[in-house]
């Protein structure tokens, strides 16, 4: 229903913000990740997820579409509600959660308070393909940040899925992009395969 709300921050806390626009104050629930980007009294724009049930109506706000995208994916998993997803995004950044899912790092996911083995396993099973393919759940695909970043992320994801360790892949991709930032995705993957 809402994509974003733009206005002045009149109240700011680690878990919620009041954003005033057109003389209306919207109470918006936020993660620590978003909180760290906000400043009381400043103008800001928060991307919104409108949570509506028969007994409650809540607004969750995010400083960027990437965080909202990850949030929307997380709440699709059985056993993860909006508050758990918000807590996850307070414990780890969107990138850390996305990378943990892509690389199958179940221990990293289990390290988040309230996430047990079964929920972590469900996340891996249900979200890995959606994140790798950039499935859209109301936000921008997670790895489309900029042209260079998109190449790097897609190449890294492909190589990790082929069974190479992420630290090794990161080093090789980094060195290739230093040599020539203009590689096409296919060239980048082929050259990385030769070096791994």
pLDDT (tens digit, 9 = 90+) per residue, 63-80? 999 999 999 999 999 889
Domain ranges for the chain? 4-62, 65-133, 147-195
Q: What is the mean pLDDT of residues 120-147?
A: 63
Q: CATH number of the domain at 147-195, please?
A: 1.10.8.10
Give pLDDT, residue 112: 87
Give pLDDT, residue 50: 94
Please state the pTM of the whole predicted model. 0.67
Fold of the domain spanning 65-133 = DNA polymerase; domain 1 (1.10.150)
Fold of the domain spanning 4-62 = OB fold (Dihydrolipoamide Acetyltransferase, E2P) (2.40.50)
Q: Do domains 65-133 and 147-195 have the same CATH topology?
A: no
How would you class 49 by CB atoms within 10 Å of its CB: exposed for 0-12, middle for 13-18, buried for 19 or more?
buried
> What span, in angstroms and rounded, lies between the C-alpha atoms of 150 and 185?
9
For strand 16-21 and strand 56-62, is the pairing parallel, antiparallel, or unpaired? unpaired
Helix (H, G, I), strand (E, B) or coil at 168: helix
């Amino acid at each position: 229903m809402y994509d974003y709300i733009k206005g002045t921050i009149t109240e700011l806390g680690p878990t919620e913000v009041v954003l005033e626009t057109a003389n209306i104050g919207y109470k918006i629930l936020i993660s620590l990740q978003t909180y760290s980007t906000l400043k009381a009294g400043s103008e800001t724009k928060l991307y919104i997820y409108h949570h509506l049930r028969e007994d409650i109506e809540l607004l969750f706000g995010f400083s960027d579409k990437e965080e909202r995208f990850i949030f929307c994916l997380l709440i699709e998993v059985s056993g993860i509600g909006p508050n758990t997803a918000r807590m996850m995004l307070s414990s780890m950044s969107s990138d850390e959660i996305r990378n943990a899912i892509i690389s199958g790092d179940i221990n990293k996911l289990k390290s988040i308070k309230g996430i047990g083995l079964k929920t972590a396993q469900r996340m891996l099973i249900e979200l890995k393909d959606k994140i790798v393919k950039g499935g859209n759940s109301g936000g921008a695909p997670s790895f489309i940040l900029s042209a260079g970043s998109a190449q790097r992320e897609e190449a890294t994801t492909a190589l990790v899925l082929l069974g190479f360790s992420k630290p090794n892949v990161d080093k090789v991709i980094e060195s290739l992009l230093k040599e020539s930032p203009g590689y096409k995705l296919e060239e980048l993957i082929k050259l990385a395969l030769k070096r791994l």
